[in-house]
Structure 1
Amino acid sequence: MTLGDNEVTQSVQASSGDRRVQVRRAALAGSIGTTIEWYDFFLYNTAAALVFPHLFFPASSAYAGVMQSFATYAVGFAARPVGAAIFGHWGDRLGRKATLIVTLLLMGVSSAIVGLLPGAATIGIAAPLILVLLRLVQGIAIGGEWSGSVLLAMEWGDQRRRGLLASFAQVGVPVGLVLGTGGMTLLSATLSPEAFSSWGWRIPFLLSLVLVAIGLVIRLRIMETPMFAAAVAAKRTSKAPVKDVVRHHWREILLSAGLRFSEQMPFYLFTSYVLVYVVQRPEFSKTFVLNAVLVGAAAELLLIPLFSQFSDRIGRKRVYLTGSLLTGVIAFPYFTVLTHSGHAMIFLAIIVSLVAHSMQYGPQAALIGESFPTHLRYGGAGLGYQLASVFAGGPAPLLATWLLHATGTPYSISIYIVASVVVTAVCVIALPDRSKADIDDVRVYAR
């Protein structure tokens, strides 16, 4: 199955005015789609830290309950490369648009079901088992979402602004974090602890269905990207795109995964594990930490496009490496502040940590996406991006919990962060910088 002839022709031959409209729609569709996906994902992350240990693992000790809750959290990350492979195949066969509609529906429905799921006190062992299954579905959906959202904007727009345009999909992460964390913050602040734990936390999950309806309306109005449509017209698509990209571009896939270590792994410590770590001090509430994360995420709304635009001017690798090194520099001071400082300094530390994340996450979309040819780009970029989830993002809160328990010092987590920076630096240096290259390879091939 491929695109219809009419859609291919319309996309390839779109006038300059039509292209401008489609660029705006593609940027909006990418950002809103990823906002919905990450809203659902971050709701789960917050609930995993605050609600799930006692709701789904009530028989466990406090430490074991947190470990089990973060283990279900990690399952979603393990499923992401599977989603990248499944939807990467169809994204490079059917096109970006059709594939993204499926991922959106999959994520929204599975999240709504989480909001309806009874606890272990009601249905016993079935509760955590169903929770794990739904987390798997979420991970598969996220695995297929990211690359399509990035390519939708990047392949429609001006190549001189690829970094900025691709970053609109990245903005979905802080927006989703603001909405998801903000919803939890509001509910936890206005409801009694008993009401929040029993039913209040479910409301944001159920609202996913409303957001999905909005996202579908927007995505259905987008045409297929001209780059992919040109590949279809030139009969340059692959019958087995995932197999081909692994065979011919395995190096780019591995380097793309490795360059994410200092971005992804610390990010989930800064936004999820911090909720568990800080509230161990009795003078700090869950609401305080959620507010700090919320303000940091709001700052990222401005910083991600800003640093992405810088990468269009001075090169992606330069901006990306600066953000990675900044993450390493703050690794030890960050936990010193969380352990010993007061409210103001902790609030500031959480915000600074997300500034370092923005410097990497903004340029990252284009840096990875432009490393693969058009007809294999959905699968290649998705696999590279999502493989990091297995080794960096997913295990991060779990390993941080274990490291603190095993060593008794948070600085073991700081060492863990610095190690991720070393991996990233090596991979970024090894990956060619194609910031100024022409990635419309079908047109280049035809010259």
Structure 2
Amino acid sequence: MHSKHVIVGGGAGGLELACKLGRKLGPQAVMLVDSRLFHIWKPSLHEVAAGTLDVHQEGLSYQMLAHDNGFTFVYGPMLALDPRQRTLTVGAIRDDHQEQVLPERQIGFEQLVIAVGSTSNYFGVPGAAEHTISLNATEDAEQFRLTLLKLLTQAELKMGAQQDGSVDVVIIGGGATGVELAAELREASGVYATYGFRQLQANRDVRITLLEGAPRILAPLPEKVSRAALKLLEQRAVKVVTATRVTAIDARGVTAGATVYPAQLVVWAAGIKAPDFLKTLGLPTTRSGQLDVDDRLAVKGFDYIYALGDCAACAGPDGKLVPPRAQAAHQQADYLLQTFLRQQQGKPPQGKPYTYRDYGSLVSFGQTTSVGSLMGSLKGLSWFVEGLVARLMYVSLHLMHHQAVLGTVRTAVLALARFLIKRTTPLVKLH
């Protein structure tokens, strides 16, 4: 197989680039490689974990998207790269019985974009990898949801037998993922109680603890946002412990200094890093393992290999690295789109390098409210938003992503369909 433009990684940035480029150049010129068959917007994984979002309704098939947007989809993980020969190796796919469905394949390319995202960084904490769940992918969120459902079922049976059936959940990391999961989980636990878990009193029997090493949660965001978030969590009976460092995790719970927090379910949301396999590709990487790219998003030393999103270390004009956020990946995808289209049209390269623009941040607190800050066009100017207005803005971000990959009409129809489906299905997934 061979394609002019090969994109590895179907996350938000990689998929948007494939869709927009495919609509311009067609399936013979654009190829997307991913190790999964369907796409889900990563910021919604906390909803999948809590059970308030059904991944099988939310997921978008890459094969469908390829057909509709004019690119070729290749199913399989990236195993190796020969940057000089411009070939990459895609691994074989096997079914549940270990029978080979697709063989290992070689793909030739003229230009390559690596957009493989990030994975959890456990910072060497003993037991973290073995005894926690990280919301990196759909299977992680589904594992959390099924484990929670099992624990709630066991708790209901114990309480029916007059035994202690409380469930302890510890979330490590007070960034957006940890905070959103805590809020969504509290809301979902109350909904679960109405669907047959009659003995369960959510605020009393589902104990949620959020641990954060910094002096406050949502540390990168303005302090006003952090205070509002803390207030909302406390109203939802979420215990928040800041300025604490986790030192060990085992099957019984989480140890932070001299304190042990009992837990049957532990989520790691305390940090991310680039996937380890990037160091094996023969490309320059930083100490953190990210691909080292220039201000045009080209991997240094290779003017035909690019990287975007969490896996790319891109420094801004101030020397600071672009933060690993979804809006950065969206912006970088649009920048590379213009780069490739100008090349296709025989035009000179873009006059300006890629520059990250921070439009603010929104943090979801369930299905009815959000908080956050919006950045103004003037340097240093921002607005604090909360409540229903912030929630509508948060939902609009998801719809904007769908609009980029599905188009306006289909996004509108999909939004209406999901609204109607919610009126005929349980508020949480119960199986």
TM-score range relative to shorter protein: under 0.3
More helix by share: 1
Where relative contact order (Cα < 8 A, 6+ residues apart) is larger, the structure is: 1
More strand by share: 2
Question: Highest Rg: 1 or 2?
Answer: 2
Q: TM-score by structure 1 length?
A: 0.26
Q: TM-score by structure 2 length?
A: 0.27
